[in-house]
Amino acid sequence: MHVHRDQALLGCLSSFVCVWLLASSTAVAQDKSPAPAKPIEAQSYRSGLKSIVLPPPTTDLNEMGSDYRVLVESMVPDTNRLLAAFVSAEDLANVRSGVSKPLVRYALVENLRRAEFADISADIFKQVSDGVAQQAGVDLSASTKDNEEELNHKLKAMLGSNTTVALEKPVPVGAFFSKPNACGFGMIESLSAPGNAVKIVVGVTVLRVQSRLIYAYVFSAFKDEDSVQWVRKTSEQWADAILKANE
């Protein structure tokens, strides 16, 4: 089957905006019940007929749970399906109480709907990962424009307003790692909206887990080179942990 090799790049743009929207809206949730008292252990998530174990990317990022994950799902590109969303306990508490505060670090896992039930061989994965690596260095302005239009359409449908966002072309920061069943690279993304502008480092990892293709994204607010190095290290360690958990 044909797998769009640039979907990991386009997906990270939508994922970036969906969590920005979640953190910027004070009316998105108003649950006053207390947040979970302790971190959630690694859980299984369905990808087609497979149960994929996804450990948290770091000890301070935990999965939002199905009740709050749906808030992010509505902004994931139509071609993808959100499997898991990881945020800090403080950020989840803010979402639950409707507090508007930017997220500093978070992570998402998605799959490609059309490949959800497909067995991805090692050869196919290499073709996909090689293609993604090539796409990471090309001019993505046309794809960014298309994605911006889709995001603004979703914003209007979700918020019932004329709120729009503008995405700048992602700036590649290079390859992070390459392994038989995982490859990762990074980019810096910028988004602006009326009265708000953010810059984020994104680690994009393409994985072959139980013969399924999944995308793992690690996000961090950009401050300096240390932000890039944190995303690089976290992306690789998380990829190793996901693969080990599914042996």
Q: pLDDT tens, position by position, for the chain (247 residues)? A: 445 444 555 555 555 555 555 555 544 444 544 444 444 567 889 888 899 999 999 999 999 998 888 877 876 778 889 999 999 998 888 878 877 777 789 999 999 888 899 999 999 988 888 777 676 654 445 555 666 676 567 666 655 666 676 777 778 888 888 899 999 888 888 877 666 777 888 898 999 999 999 999 999 988 888 999 999 999 999 999 999 999 9
Task: Give pLDDT tens digits for 33-57.
Answer: 444 444 456 788 988 889 999 999 9
Whole-number pLDDT of residue 26: 43
In this structure, are residues 200 and 221 in contact, taking their beta carbons and an 8 Å threshold? yes
Token pair 């399906």 in the structure block, residue: 81
Could you tell me the pTM of the whole model? 0.80
